[in-house]
């Protein structure tokens, strides 16, 4: 079992970042983006076999994939690591500032 840190915002200027990642041995595309109206981060996840999840808020303290297991998403845990948010959900600049990190913990 390994823990992967996923990039959400490489510098403080991005409001959208796309990357290809390998989660539990399968390739996935993850798009992270902010909503200008609320300043929060969201993600879309798309797999090679057509599995897709869209518009999920990057909320602190929850397994972000749990509600979508029936859609064939990766079996591990995707969560926001709070490095100074005080339990709040990450806002527009929190990932670039290092206050929050998006982690994926692979399934056993």
Show me where the domains of the chain are located. 3-103
Quick one: 54 exposed, middle or buried, by C-beta within 10 A (0-12, 13-18, 19+)?
exposed
Could you write out the three-class secondary structure of 3-68?
Answer: EEEECCCCCCCCCEEEEEEEECCEEEEEEEEECCCCCEEEEEEEECCCCEEEEEECCECCCCCHHH
With beta carbons less than 8 A apart as the criterion, state whether 59 and 79 touch: no
Please enumerate in sequence order all residues whose Cβ is within 8 A of that of 30, keeping only pairs 6 or more positions apart, or say none. Answer: 6, 18, 19, 21, 43, 44, 45, 46
What would the pLDDT profile of 66-94 be if each residue is shown by its tens digit?
999 999 999 999 999 988 888 889 998 89
What would the pLDDT profile of 19-43 be if each residue is shown by its tens digit?
999 999 999 999 999 988 898 999 9
The whole model's pTM is what?
Answer: 0.92
């Amino acid at each position: 079992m390994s823990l992967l840190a996923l990039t959400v915002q490489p510098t403080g200027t991005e409001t959208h970042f796309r990357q290809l990642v390998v989660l539990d041995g399968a390739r996935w595309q993850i798009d992270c983006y902010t909503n200008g109206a609320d300043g929060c981060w969201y993600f879309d996840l798309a797999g090679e076999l057509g599995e897709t999840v869209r518009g999920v808020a990057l909320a602190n303290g929850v397994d972000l994939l749990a509600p979508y297991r029936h859609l064939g998403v990766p079996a591990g845990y995707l969560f926001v690591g709070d490095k100074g948010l005080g339990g709040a959900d990450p806002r527009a600049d929190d990932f670039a500032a290092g206050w929050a990190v998006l982690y994926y913990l692979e399934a056993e």
